[in-house]
Structure 1
Amino acid sequence: MAGPGDRAKGRGSLLAISDLHVRHAENGTVVEQLRPESPEDWLLVAGDVGDTIAQVEWALRLLAARFAKVLWSPGNHELWSLPTDPVPLRGVARYARLVELCRELGVVTPEDPYPVWEGLGGPVTVAPLFLLYDYSWRPEGLDTAQAALAEAYRTGIVCTDEYLLHPDPYESRSAWCTARVAGTARRLAERDPALPTVLMNHWPLCREPTRILRYPIFAQWCGTEATADWHRRFNAVAVVYGHLHIPRTTWYDGVRFEEVSVGYPREWRRRSGLPGQLRRILPAPAGLPPTAW
């Protein structure tokens, strides 16, 4: 976290968190306690805020009122179409409604111009991304997406997305992912090349963070090989992600990757630290931050 000297400069910090899952009452209490360190702090929210439109609105409205700027990338939970959600939208239409809601709240989305962080550690282009996954992170020996998915069903390790995350009007989640990756790559290529980036996506951009999953076959719902080099290709000083519910700091090719999820109450209760600790992305922490949080 930022030290007293940083706050005294009055230029704020770029902070991050994800996987708030506010449908759980205890996580809602965690969100209610989140506060900026200074009036100029920005907050990156890397998806899985809630399972319904109303839950997402409640949390982002609260955070937008507290932080100088909030940036959001969708996770898979925001894109779920639950039968209990009064907003019965699916796929692209659901995502469009979430973007519309964020704009009403003043929250930056992946569809908006990428803002430039001018505070401590800047200037840096901050890019919230929405990329999905394409089943390309398969276990060794399973050469096709169909084979990997069949093995997941055989073993009972199946992501709920298969039932609730609809890709309409795309024919599949993989096709939606392909379109998102292509469009996002074009936008990132058009940014100011003189500035480094902070990239935020709900799913990790490279496969390495998934190597420690308890069930490796779950990695097929965690990202795409198409973004494996984006931290180098787009000159990232940091990559922010969630989804795995394994909060930690790692480095790949000298770039800092921050998994910033809160996770479910049953998960964060087992950890020694308090839940909902905002991770400072910029200015970069002095020295090497701990690997596990």
Structure 2
Amino acid sequence: MNDCRTRIFALSDVHVDYEVNARWVQSLSREDYRHDLLILAGDITHRLPELASCLSAFAERFAKVLFVPGNHELWVAGDRSERTSLQKYADVVAVAEQSGVCMRPYLHGNVLIAPLLGWYDYSFGQPSDELRHLWTDFHACRWPAGFQPEDVAAHFTRLNNTLSVQGAARVITFSHFLPRIDLLPSYVSSSHRVLDPVLGSSRLERQLRALGSSMHVYGHSHINRRIELDGVTYINNAFGYPGEERIAARGLLCIDEL
């Protein structure tokens, strides 16, 4: 059972499209986290009903759930042809609100926990023809006419620009996408580095630095790690796909206590 302190847990890439992952969410204790916060860093599912079910389950178990969508949430493959991924984002925001989950900055005492929306903008490299063919986002997302990934990243960056740290003695930020490419461990093979262009954006790094963040939670890579770089602690705790036990911890991670 919990004491009077508030713990902060981090989790990303739950992918409840897989039944075993969805069962894990529903199996979480309804008592152990009643005073705690959960940072949920994207890639829950592209299906809105399953997203609502998952977010509601977390909201019923934690005092506060803070959420930022990932790339999977913005997939529109199979939807009516005129629907764009920006419209899908608006639907995700509505589902989060209806589920009791927060997508806005949250001040707990004097600690601000702030979501950073994002997308990749090729600041980590240009995509190869192979990547454009294999990466699902290129086929499952649909953007307004003329929008390129750089435009998508710029759009979400502008939404982040309204963030204020007033009243905060400490700032924790979180995003789905990686804010810097050197968060990838050195052991990642060259064959997997083809994914670098779609992993994140240096825009996120500039924003978290401007906010004075001391800790940043991210997802997307499915490679769990905790590392300090240039005075900021970066944490990835991905649940991941079934079978990824070696690189994803497949459980909640307490990253701090308040």
User: Shared fold (TM-score greater than 0.5)?
Assistant: yes
1:249 aligns with 2:218: no
* CA displacement, residues 98-132 of structure 1 (integer Å, 9 cap, x when unaligned): 101111112111xx3x11123xxxx2111112111
Residue identity opposite 1:47 in structure 2 = G
In structure 1, the gaps of 5 or more residues are 139-144, 285-293
How far residue 151 of structure 1 moved from its aligned partner, in angstroms, is 5.8
Equivalent pair of 1:250/1:258 in contact (CA under 8 Å): yes
RMSD between aligned alpha carbons?
2.4
How far residue 137 of structure 1 moved from its aligned partner, in angstroms, is 0.5
% same residue: 27
How far residue 241 of structure 1 moved from its aligned partner, in angstroms, is 0.8
Report the Cα distance in structure 1 between the residues aligned to 2:55 and 2:119, rounded to whole angstroms.
21
How far residue 225 of structure 1 moved from its aligned partner, in angstroms, is 2.1
Report the Cα distance in structure 1 between the residues aligned to 2:22 and 2:168, rounded to whole angstroms.
40
Match of 2:162 among 187, 194, 204: 187
Residue in 1 that maps onto 2:102: 108
Residue identity opposite 2:17 in structure 1 = R
How far residue 170 of structure 1 moved from its aligned partner, in angstroms, is 5.8
Residue identity opposite 1:24 in structure 2 = Y
Residue in 1 that maps onto 2:89: 95
Report the Cα distance in structure 1 between the residues aligned to 2:68 and 2:22, rounded to whole angstroms.
19
Match of 2:238 among 261, 269, 274: 261
Change (3 A) 1:87 1:103: farther
Report the Cα distance in structure 1 between the residues aligned to 2:68 and 2:58, rounded to whole angstroms.
14
Residue in 1 that maps onto 2:205: 228
Instruction: Please say which structure displays the higher CA radius of gyration.
Output: 1
Match of 2:115 among 99, 112, 128: 128
How far residue 169 of structure 1 moved from its aligned partner, in angstroms, is 5.6
Equivalent pair of 2:240/2:250 in contact (CA under 8 Å): no
Residue in 2 that maps onto 1:290: none
Residue in 1 that maps onto 2:129: 150
Change (3 A) 1:95 1:137: same
Report the Cα distance in structure 2 between the residues aligned to 1:193 and 1:232, rounded to whole angstroms.
17
The residue matched to 1:30 in structure 2 has which SS? helix
Residue in 1 that maps onto 2:62: 67
In structure 2, the gaps of 5 or more residues are none
Report the Cα distance in structure 2 between the residues aligned to 1:71 and 1:170, rounded to whole angstroms.
32
Report the Cα distance in structure 2 between the residues aligned to 1:195 and 1:125, rounded to whole angstroms.
8
Change (3 A) 1:68 1:89: farther
Report the Cα distance in structure 1 between the residues aligned to 2:152 and 2:80, rounded to whole angstroms.
24
Q: How many residues align?
A: 254
The residue matched to 1:127 in structure 2 has which SS? strand
TM-score (norm 2): 0.89
The residue matched to 1:65 in structure 2 has which SS? helix
Equivalent pair of 1:137/1:207 in contact (CA under 8 Å): yes
Residue in 2 that maps onto 1:289: none
